[in-house]
Structure 1
Amino acid sequence: MSDDSYVFEGPADEPAAPRDNNPPLSISELSFALKRTLEDRFGHVRLRGEISKVNRHASGHVYLTLKDDKACIDGVVWKGQARGLGVQPETGLEVIVTGKITSYPARSSYQIVIETMEPAGAGALLAQLERLKVRLQGEGLFDPARKKPIPTFPAVIGVITSPTGAVIRDILHRIAERWPCRVIVWPVVVQGEAACGQVSNAIRGFDALTTGGPIPRPDLLIVARGGGSVEDLWCFNDEGLARTVAAARIPIISAVGHETDTTLIDFVSDRRAPTPTGAAEIATPVLADLRATVLDLDRRLVRAGGRLIEERRTRLSSVARGLPVRPEDLLALPRQRLDLAGSRLGSALHRNVAVHERQLITVAGRLSPAVLDRALERRRDRLGATTARFAPTLPRRLERDGDRLAALARALATLDPKRPKPGFARVESEDGVMIAAAAALQPGQAVRLVFDDGARGARIDGEGEAPPPRPKPAAAPRAKAPPPGQGDLF
């Protein structure tokens, strides 16, 4: 190594840096590690609590909070699970939920992803039902004025119930013994989550039938189910089913449960029956009673007709006692008067003709041709005298009046505003209306000047003085009186 070379060396006593066996984790690594731990440890949990802060997102997901008296936990129901829940989440409802615990790394919070939800007890179910009843009543779905009348004599009855069990047998048996008619059964399940959807589809299906189609349209529907607990009958408290019943065009009788059981469709249906057998009795009359009623009315009609005939017979007998014994005696006097009038009719007609003939002769004497000739001669003499009087002056008079008429026609032609004289023009507006005064013109107004040989457009500039007042025209000279002694033919 040369003398001008330098090598830097650290101090001989400085130790080397030790290696760390606990490397730091990123926040994301820790958050996702906790997420995996929670999901592995609490993959399936069942919680009971009260719902608060329900938020239904536009995407269809439902976000809520479950709480008890000491703690709370956030919960989420994905869109696909929200439609199949046994009970819809509402604030203040106590429920039992099943799901898995997970975390939301973006906020370092944990939550439960809810898969199933059921009410915690009958008290929670009834509280939810009461809130729904108040809301539907406020919308007018329970109003008696909107309920449809039940037909008195139905020809076709539709029954929506389970095809098995005692309910359908009781209904068919009761209808058959009271009012034999056609019954169409739409089989559905009447318990569980699928019940409300199937019953709603059955109501809409019956309502869509048309009159005269291959399947007759029912005049009346019966929704029936046997008795059960609140949970068993809960499907008939569904809001969608209640709105379907209220919107149906066919009258509906609700026969769900026994007399003490009450469901939501009992309030929106057109009639509530205490039992399914009672619904069959409400829907149908008793044929035997109708027959007895018709027979009774028929007997009363026969008796009333007999009494009416007997009354008329009695009155006729009373009137007949005041009449003569033989009908010929009633007609004898009128027949005699008719014969007398007929014998006098011929002579009366001859006398009438003679009187009118004498009157005609008297009038015809005054209408002889000599009378008419004398009147015609008098009028001819008067016409000749008048002609002789005015014959010398009449040609001159006609000639003078003709000259005056020609002069007036020439003056009228010179004063015609539609034919201006040379050096003059007629002022018209754009729509062809003649303007006769300067006061009718406005500055800037477009006008048309009509000359004898054509027309030109112009515009008023607004300058100039007002024209002097027009002098009053002199009184027209009076016509000379005709010379004395000369008459006027007209």
Structure 2
Amino acid sequence: MSETLPDAGADHNLPIFTVSEISQALKTVVEETFSWVRVRGEISGFKRATSGHLYLCLKDAEAVIDAVCWKGTAGRLGLSPEDGMEVIAVGRLTTYPGRSKYQLVIEGLELAGEGALLKLLEDRKRRLAAEGLFDPARKRPLPFLPSVIGVVTSPTGAVIRDILHRLADRFPRRVIVWPVRVQGDGAAAEIAAAIAGFNALPEGGPVPRPDLLIVARGGGSLEDLWAFNEEIVARVAAESAIPLISAVGHETDFTLIDLAADLRAPTPTAAAEMAVPVRLELMAQVGDDGTRLIGAVGRLLADRRQRLEGLARGLPNLRRVLESASQRLDDWAERLGNSLRAGLERRRTRLEHVAARIPSPQREIAVAGQRLTREAQTLARLAATFTRERQTRLAHATALLESFSYARVLERGFALVLTADGAAVSSVTALSAGMDLTLRLHDGAAGVTVSKAPAGGQGRTATRTRRSTAANDDRQRKLL
């Protein structure tokens, strides 16, 4: 069978639409046909824009549909979307003409069945455990007997009545209830705020700060208990400075707050039993301990008394010991007086004997004065003799020095020839014509000038004459 297509160039009655018109027509048809739908699928490509809008895709095995959740609706969602989460989205279909796409505008979001909840729970549990939120080292011990107990639960349920009744039976304590919703939208935020609020109470304030917290709820399905599986509740429970008991659901129900709390109770009633001891049992135990303590103290005193009596029998009679000591003291006092007198007499005799052997100081001074006078006279004689000997030796040395002086030679008619700078002339070879000289005689000095340089022969003759004169001087010195 063949289909006949209209000729593109032929005249026909089909209307001509603009792109905007056809897009708007499609938008109207889609929105009117699918104004309210529930779509089940797996979240993929989730992202949160800076404006607060949420963008994601819902997919199954055969198809994918884009979805958007506006900022105002995103704050009211009952859960936080994540990739891989299977959900049921409630909203309306619309188109986006700018990209010729259709998309789902989400107005509500819920998990699709218990399997999806369990998968999300396991993923969240694994992530928080990796952070160490459930580490046993973080657990705090419970107080033995708390004065104030804070309870976070619904004020209208049977849970709070069971807790109060069990506390009254065991050991009445002051209880402060922080009412919260335990399921539904906003329940997790209220539970977290209650735990944080109890921890923020100051010590000694108008509202007493609890010593122990109990977070409790009755049993229910996984969806009913989901508020206690929210990450915000688990983190606040783990960070609580006040020891916390989790009592959510029945014994078979486990939530994330059970892992983050310091202790898990299988039921709210069991939490009350863990919080306080039984008063009657405690009183009985105190009475039994008191009786045992009294008996132990009595036995200890009897044993100490028996030992004391045994030791007392081994001690001597104190009166006799004192009398003997007093008599011995009197004897020693008498002997001490006698020994003191005898000792003084002996020391006096020895002192007189030693004093007799000591010579008279006046006599020693007189003898020393005579010896000093003799030695002074001897020293004076020796000093005079020494002075005379030194004077004689000095006179001989002076005469010998005078005999060696060149002045004696000058007295015999010789003269000393000096240059202008005071140097002695010892040879005619040192003379030159026009040289100024000084002739020193025995009674004075006169200046002369050399008129002609002496000849070589004369210089040698003068040299020989000086040497002959020097030889005569040597002989004269020997004669002297």
Name the structure 2 match of 1:59: 51
1-structure distance, mates of 2:71, 2:376: 121
Q: CA deviation at 1:32?
A: 2.7
2-structure distance, mates of 1:58, 1:261: 39
Name the structure 2 match of 1:279: 271
Name the structure 2 match of 1:130: 122
The reply to whether residue 157 of structure 1 matches residue 161 of structure 2 is no
3-state secondary structure, aligned to 1:230: coil
Match of 2:76 among 72, 84, 87: 84
Name the structure 2 match of 1:50: 42
**Unaligned ranges ≥5, structure 1:** 1-17, 393-490
AA paired with 1:109? K
Name the structure 1 match of 2:335: 344
Q: CA deviation at 1:165?
A: 2.1
AA paired with 1:72? V
Q: CA deviation at 1:293?
A: 2.1
Name the structure 2 match of 1:328: 319
2-structure distance, mates of 1:311, 1:348: 53
3-state secondary structure, aligned to 1:280: helix
Name the structure 2 match of 1:452: none
1-structure distance, mates of 2:37, 2:104: 9
2-structure distance, mates of 1:30, 1:380: 156
CA-to-partner distance for each residue in 1:441-487, whole Å, 9 max, x for gaps?
A: xxxxxxxxxxxxxxxxxxxxxxxxxxxxxxxxxxxxxxxxxxxxxxx
2-structure distance, mates of 1:145, 1:131: 23
Which range moved further: 235-244 or 357-366? 357-366
2-structure distance, mates of 1:226, 1:378: 133
AA paired with 1:146? R
Root-mean-square deviation (CA, aligned residues, Å) is 3.1
1-structure distance, mates of 2:119, 2:46: 17
Match of 1:258 among 244, 250, 260: 250
CA-to-partner distance for each residue in 1:338-389, whole Å, 9 max, x for gaps?
A: 2211221211222334445456666777597559968997999999989x98
Match of 2:31 among 24, 31, 39: 39
1-structure distance, mates of 2:345, 2:288: 78
2-structure distance, mates of 1:43, 1:378: 154
Name the structure 1 match of 2:232: 240
Match of 1:171 among 160, 163, 167: 163
2-structure distance, mates of 1:359, 1:213: 94
The reply to whether residue 199 of structure 1 matches residue 182 of structure 2 is no
Relative to 1, partners in 2 of residues 1:58 and 1:360: Cα closer, same or farther, differing over 3 Å? farther
CA-to-partner distance for each residue in 1:299-322, whole Å, 9 max, x for gaps?
A: 122212221222233233434445
2-structure distance, mates of 1:192, 1:369: 127
2-structure distance, mates of 1:175, 1:25: 78
Q: CA deviation at 1:149?
A: 1.6
2-structure distance, mates of 1:44, 1:194: 25
Name the structure 2 match of 1:425: none
3-state secondary structure, aligned to 2:343: helix
1-structure distance, mates of 2:186, 2:118: 21
CA-to-partner distance for each residue in 1:152-171, whole Å, 9 max, x for gaps?
A: 12111101111112111111
2-structure distance, mates of 1:383, 1:111: 145
AA paired with 2:319? E
3-state secondary structure, aligned to 1:250: coil
Q: CA deviation at 1:150?
A: 1.1
Matches within 5 A, 1:435-474: none
Could you tell me the percent identity over the aligned residues?
Answer: 55
Match of 1:269 among 247, 253, 261: 261
2-structure distance, mates of 1:148, 1:121: 36
Q: CA deviation at 1:328?
A: 3.1
2-structure distance, mates of 1:190, 1:383: 131
Relative to 1, partners in 2 of residues 1:139 and 1:347: Cα closer, same or farther, differing over 3 Å? same
Q: CA deviation at 1:101?
A: 0.3
Name the structure 2 match of 1:102: 94
1-structure distance, mates of 2:220, 2:368: 124
Which range moved further: 107-116 or 328-337? 328-337
3-state secondary structure, aligned to 1:262: coil
Which range moved further: 227-236 or 351-360? 351-360
AA paired with 1:25? F
Higher fraction of helix: 2
Name the structure 1 match of 2:175: 183
Q: Which has the larger Rg?
A: 2
